[in-house]
Structure 1
Amino acid sequence: MIAEAVAAGPGRLPQGMASRRAQLSWGLFDWANQPVFTVITTFIFAPYFTGVMAADATEGQALWGYVQAFAGLVVALASPVLGAMADRSGPRKPYILVFQALTIVGLVALWWAVPGSPGALWLTIVALTVLTIGAELSIVFNNALLPTLVPPERLGRLSGLGWGLGYVGGLIALFAVLIVSRPEMAGISVPEGEALFGLSQASHAVERLTGPASALWLVLFVLPMFLFTPDVPRAGRGGLRAAAEGLGQLRRTLEKLRGYRNEALFLAAFFIYNNGVSAVIAFGGVYFAATFGWGTTQLGIFGIIVTIFAAIGCFAGGWLDDRIGSKGTVAIALLGMAAATVGILSLTATAVLFFVDTPPVTAGGPLFGSLQEQIGLLFAILIGICLGPAQSASRSMIGRLAPPQMFGEFYGLFALSGRASAILAPLLIGLVTQISDSRRLGIAVVLVFLFVGIGLLLGVRERRGPGPAT
């Protein structure tokens, strides 16, 4: 087996050599990291940051956009260089270890995000930036392992399995947050003003604890990937030599993109539409919390419902990916997300479909008791169903298009394209929100990226195995 790996060349293991345990362990990486995105940057901590730690919800949405934009800039600049280095040196796991450790440090620091405490706002901004950079850069190298584990015709299913496991992990994490926040829902009595384990509601201890708890979750469940998933063999190059060769190879790769026009077009399309996808993830919980005045309980239940449908959509998307191809799967998912975004923007606390007045949302009223909340939940479910296929099929499409000896480079460029999109969309949302003093106009930026990205994607020729692109 080692001889076969060496014969396959640096950056590439023989197709089909990974065991089922190795593949499942690779998928658990998404499970381990999902609370970072589900609990921290989408449904629980992000709304807490924008609605409680910031001066007001509009300023909070703008600050959140700037945090995401800066983290995206760092990842966008670093990921292709590191990807090329990994292709030259061989193993991906050492890179994953370093950036997962960075993620853990940022998560633990969120415990000190106490509202009103001197310096807490800036500490939280730094911690959120660090954990985002760490999580996203580790994903670059985990993604680069994907094509080494299964043949091309099974990329969609394994990629979908990873995303699906991630959503299930995020779902369980949200359930845990909900029970800790509202233990009476599980029949557990606690003193008034306290959550489970004696956590203070007044100091927002539950929201702050999501950081260290997500760090513990990550440590426990990322271990199988390190233990059981095979890494790429070492190519015999040291770090400095690999860095120098990696930078040179990156320059040549960018130059050669003129000869890989189909791949370049997909990367451009992905850059555009992933602006919209990333913004939906980063700002969804923030927007609903500010529009309807939701707290941790409502956001937790909302997140659970959306995540259930996201997991279903993800597993179904993996099947659809292998049936009709990555391109068609992504296009369908993006159209669904665009339609749902228009629907969500049509809602306010006192109206639906832009102009139809409704009774206002009542603070402390029944869960999802207003018409606008119920319609908003339906649109959010549609986004959840489409989110997994859009992400998973994009990841597997790179595996279909990239030359086998350049997987690390192209996944680095894929990360560059994706994280560069995480600069532009949050930055524009932050600027539009701040200039217009309107959260709705800020989020409307999403639609431009989704529709332009779909238009570019239609011009990509997909390759679904050996042979020319179709």
Structure 2
Amino acid sequence: MSSPLKGQTRAGMAAISTRRRIWGWFFFDWASQPYNTLLLTFIFGPYVKEVLGDGTAAQSAWGFGIGAAGVVIALLAPVLGALADTSGSRMRWIWIFSAMYVAGSAGVWLAAPDDFNLYLILFLFAVGLIGMEFATIFTNSMLPDLGSRDEIGRISGNGWAFGYVGGLIALILMLAFFAEGPNGTTMLGQPPALGLDPAAREGTRFVGPLTALWFIVFMIPFFLWVREPRSIRPPKGAVMLALKGLAGTIRSLPGTPSLLAYLASSMFYRDALNGIYVFGGIYAAGVLNWSVVDTGIFGLLAIVLGAVFAWIGGKADVAFGPRPVISASILALTVAALATVFVSRTSVFGVPVDAASRLPDITFYAIGAVIGAAGGALQSASRTMMVRQANPHRMTEAFGLYALAGKATSFLAPLSIGTVTYLTGSQQLGVTPLIVLFLVGLFLLRWVKPYGDRAAAWDAQPSP
């Protein structure tokens, strides 16, 4: 697919105001967030478990499918980033991976309960997930083009907050008008909209086409307003140049101790954060006997707080820098993970309660609020910190390495939680590995310099 934006120059960028380019960049977060909110977490994942019937088999299949996609992302992300830096074109890659996002998400419509092809559905889901992750690498690498060093924290935070709002609205639309419950009606008590057949689960399966349409519509501002800072013809042997450059970057990591420490730190704390997101609903269902409605409200609360605190975190990022924001967020998430261990249907922090008491539910909602708030601020500040640590001339490659760090140990949280749960026979004790992962990430953060190993290069950069 060729981009109509090819050939844009700095003169073309100047024709579009900085404010509009920033808003265009925000719209990628808004457009892509439903893949996480609707497909990965709150709607399609639980639907797969429901169709397969066996929760253990469904969770295993889901884990293997996402894990396989993670391996592809881990292997190719830094290579693609290096190639984009060498060829000078990121927009072309965003078009390609956007097409994968749309094809993969729309394809999950085929997950009919009476003709459910698990391998096909997992393949389509993985295609969309890979498209989203790769497109995110290239859009993240555009962040330093949008503002000065002191402005990018606020820009990153506002982008995350805007994306969270998009995911929230998409989730509300799904729950209110499409996703049918056991009685065949939505949360509004009505049949699925557009005449979709609840008996065939068409309302819930519409999550795929809705996610694809949402992305198509809301990527329009991105492609209209976002421009590359430069456009050059790819040199001969661009692939080999990219691979050599990537190999050199990896070999040089010991010589950039701040970048190396940050990649290692983020590898652990982002894995723990993903573990909280993936297992939070399962924990609530198993330990507190929550219904889908309860879990949905929990999700809405976490998303709202995530959006608000991504915005607040962006303000704090500008005022104090990303490292204090990251440290405070990790501490809050560690406390939340620890508190989770002491909440059950019959006790809260060691105090016995009646099985019909709402105190455990209220407490877990409060924990969810902390997770949403700290998670939003953490993800926003992490993106800003990566910009500060990276070589400004190889930014896309750096975000490829950042994606690799995020996927290289993505098995740790689910595997350790599964192992501890199996050995102890307790879902509560099963989440304790998350505490360890957060603390390891926080410990490694002490070697991360606020402006990375190239502070002088930062100071020499002109503002856009």
The alignment's TM-score, normalised by the length of structure 2, stands at 0.87
| TM-superposition CA deviations, 1:414-436 (whole Å, max 9, x none) | 11111223343334445555676
* Other structure's SS at 2:344 match: coil
Residue 461 of structure 2 corresponds to which residue in structure 1?
A: none
User: Would the alpha carbon gap of residues 422 and 149 (structure 1) be closer, same or farther in structure 2, given more than 3 Å must change?
Assistant: same
Separation (CA, whole Å) in 2 of partners of 1:102 and 1:389: 29
Separation (CA, whole Å) in 1 of partners of 2:385 and 2:423: 38
Residue 169 of structure 1 corresponds to which residue in structure 2?
A: 166
Q: Which one is further off, 283-292 or 221-230?
A: 283-292
The counterpart of 2:105, out of the listed 104, 107, 122, is: 107
Q: Which runs of 5+ in 1 are unaligned?
A: 7-12, 362-368
Residue 228 of structure 2 corresponds to which residue in structure 1?
A: 231
Q: Shift of residue 440 of structure 1?
A: 4.2
Residue type at the aligned position of 1:114: A
Separation (CA, whole Å) in 2 of partners of 1:290 and 1:110: 27
Q: Shift of residue 227 of structure 1?
A: 1.4
Residue type at the aligned position of 1:135: M
Q: Shift of residue 274 of structure 1?
A: 1.1
Separation (CA, whole Å) in 2 of partners of 1:2 and 1:113: 41
Residue 425 of structure 1 corresponds to which residue in structure 2?
A: 413
Q: Which one is further off, 428-437 or 68-77?
A: 428-437
Separation (CA, whole Å) in 1 of partners of 2:375 and 2:11: 35
Residue 312 of structure 1 corresponds to which residue in structure 2?
A: 308
Q: Check conservation: 1:36, 1:214, Cα contact below 8 A.
A: yes
Residue 296 of structure 2 corresponds to which residue in structure 1?
A: 300
* Other structure's SS at 2:450 match: coil
Separation (CA, whole Å) in 2 of partners of 1:25 and 1:95: 17
Separation (CA, whole Å) in 1 of partners of 2:277 and 2:389: 26
| TM-superposition CA deviations, 1:209-264 (whole Å, max 9, x none) | 111111110111012111111124223116x7222111110001111112211111
Q: Shift of residue 163 of structure 1?
A: 0.4
| TM-superposition CA deviations, 1:9-57 (whole Å, max 9, x none) | xxxx99xx9610110110110000111111111222222323x134433
Residue 412 of structure 1 corresponds to which residue in structure 2?
A: 400
Aligned residues: 446
Q: Shift of residue 110 of structure 1?
A: 1.5
Residue type at the aligned position of 1:297: V
Separation (CA, whole Å) in 1 of partners of 2:98 and 2:69: 15
Summarize the alignment of residues 83-232 of structure 1 with structure 2, pairs less than 5 Å apart.
83-115=81-113, 117-180=114-177, 181=179, 190=190, 194-232=191-229
Does residue 454 of the first structure (1) align with residue 442 of the second (2)? yes
Q: Shift of residue 92 of structure 1?
A: 0.8
Q: Check conservation: 1:270, 1:417, Cα contact below 8 A.
A: yes
Output the aligned Cα RMSD: 2.9
Residue type at the aligned position of 2:125: L
Residue 44 of structure 2 corresponds to which residue in structure 1?
A: 45
The counterpart of 1:252, out of the listed 242, 248, 254, is: 248
Identity %: 34
Residue type at the aligned position of 1:348: S
Separation (CA, whole Å) in 2 of partners of 1:320 and 1:150: 17
Q: Which runs of 5+ in 2 are unaligned?
A: 1-6, 459-464
Separation (CA, whole Å) in 1 of partners of 2:419 and 2:123: 20
Q: Which one is further off, 301-310 or 434-443?
A: 434-443
Q: Shift of residue 199 of structure 1?
A: 3.5
Residue type at the aligned position of 1:164: A
Q: Check conservation: 1:64, 1:430, Cα contact below 8 A.
A: no
Residue 79 of structure 2 corresponds to which residue in structure 1?
A: 81
* Other structure's SS at 1:458 match: helix
Residue 71 of structure 1 corresponds to which residue in structure 2?
A: 69
Residue type at the aligned position of 1:390: L
User: Would the alpha carbon gap of residues 74 and 2 (structure 1) be closer, same or farther in structure 2, given more than 3 Å must change?
Assistant: closer
Residue type at the aligned position of 1:382: V
Q: Shift of residue 88 of structure 1?
A: 0.6
Q: Which one is further off, 138-147 or 66-75?
A: 66-75
Q: Which one is further off, 287-296 or 265-274?
A: 287-296
Separation (CA, whole Å) in 1 of partners of 2:199 and 2:342: 34
Residue 29 of structure 1 corresponds to which residue in structure 2?
A: 28
* Other structure's SS at 1:153 match: coil
Q: Which one is further off, 401-410 or 159-168?
A: 401-410
Separation (CA, whole Å) in 2 of partners of 1:294 and 1:114: 26
Q: Check conservation: 1:175, 1:300, Cα contact below 8 A.
A: no
* Other structure's SS at 2:451 match: coil
* Other structure's SS at 1:275 match: helix
Separation (CA, whole Å) in 2 of partners of 1:320 and 1:313: 10
User: Would the alpha carbon gap of residues 389 and 431 (structure 1) be closer, same or farther in structure 2, given more than 3 Å must change?
Assistant: same
Separation (CA, whole Å) in 1 of partners of 2:422 and 2:122: 18
Separation (CA, whole Å) in 2 of partners of 1:201 and 1:398: 45
The alignment's TM-score, normalised by the length of structure 1, stands at 0.86
| TM-superposition CA deviations, 1:353-394 (whole Å, max 9, x none) | 3x5444446xxxxxxx83222211110010000011111111
User: Would the alpha carbon gap of residues 60 and 437 (structure 1) be closer, same or farther in structure 2, given more than 3 Å must change?
Assistant: farther
